[in-house]
Amino acid sequence: MKLSDPAPMDAAPRRGRRTLYLLLSFAVPFLVLLLAVLALHAAPFGRHSLAIADGRVYINSLAFLRRALQGRENLLYTFTAGPGSNEWANLAWGGLFPAMLLTLLAIPETLPGLFTWICLVNMSLCGLTMYLLLADVRGHRLENLIFSTSYALSGFLVVNCFQYLFFIGPQCLPLVVLGLIWLFRGKSPLLYILSLGGCIFLNFYFGFMLCVVSVLLLLAHLYVNAAALAGKRGRLLGTWAASSVIAGLLGAPM
């Protein structure tokens, strides 16, 4: 199926079924992960903790942000204690992700359990965003849940879920692709701009990777739909380039 093809209209079930599929795209991976956490006796269901990777980054950047919110640290970049020593750069690796900001409310005793819930919700969101992409390309189908759940439970995500470095890019990837498909169809590029720009701002590492994905998908679209795009390439390239620049500028403050 070409990237520019809309979802088949005859495959769309009733609204209630679509809502059910959306809920299941989040709930199924969440349930699987919850059972795994129970089996591992991880907090809050045991004494083990998932927060084991990149501990220095967690402690330094989040402690800095808490001190800044208390007025004991300067949020602006400063050289007073050495280049970048105020940890603002570390926050650009995912420290400003909304779920991570919840950890500022925790105390050391409750942090491991809260971090577990953040991991479960975050990985399950991957199932939801992937389902949204599949539903647009294939229509709202029950079998889409197989692929969306597989994406949420992929080894890449499960292995790296303990690092907030991976808390934004995998969730944004399906939305960036969906936004590109809409852009290729001549629709508003707003979803593409916001999803890519948001990822660049919250995690410049994965934001760069999604920029590469955007270029590759554009080239694939130009090749696969070469005949249909005759005389339209200039406008398409202009829209894509302008949207990509705007998305990049959204991440400029970080």
Give a three-class secondary structure readout of 147-188: HHHHHHCCHHHHHHCCCHHHCCHHHHHHHHHHHHHHHHCCCC
Percent of the chain topping pLDDT 90: 46
pLDDT of residue 247: 96
pLDDT of residue 12: 46
Confidence check: pLDDT of 119 > 80? yes
DSSP 102: G
- What confidence tier does 220 reach under pLDDT thresholds 50, 70, 90? very high
Write out the two tokens for 65: 């942000």
Q: According to the per-residue pLDDT averaged within each range, which of 72-76, 205-209, 245-249 is highest?
A: 245-249
pLDDT in tens, 183-210: 999 999 999 999 999 999 888 888 999 9
Q: What pTM was estimated for this model as a whole?
A: 0.84
Q: Rounded CA gap, 193 and 63, in Å?
A: 31
Task: Determine which of 7-11, 32-36, 45-49, 137-141 has the lowest per-residue pLDDT on average.
Answer: 7-11
Where in the chain are the domains? 1-166, 168-254
Cβ atoms < 10 Å from Cβ of 146? 12
Percent of the chain topping pLDDT 70: 80
> Which of 125, 206, 213 is CA-nearest to residue 177?
213
pLDDT of residue 27: 97
Confidence check: pLDDT of 228 > 80? yes
Q: Tally DSSP H helices, then E strands, for the chain.
A: 11, 0
Q: Rounded CA gap, 68 and 20, in Å?
A: 42
- What confidence tier does 42 reach under pLDDT thresholds 50, 70, 90? confident
Confidence check: pLDDT of 2 > 70? no
pLDDT of residue 226: 87
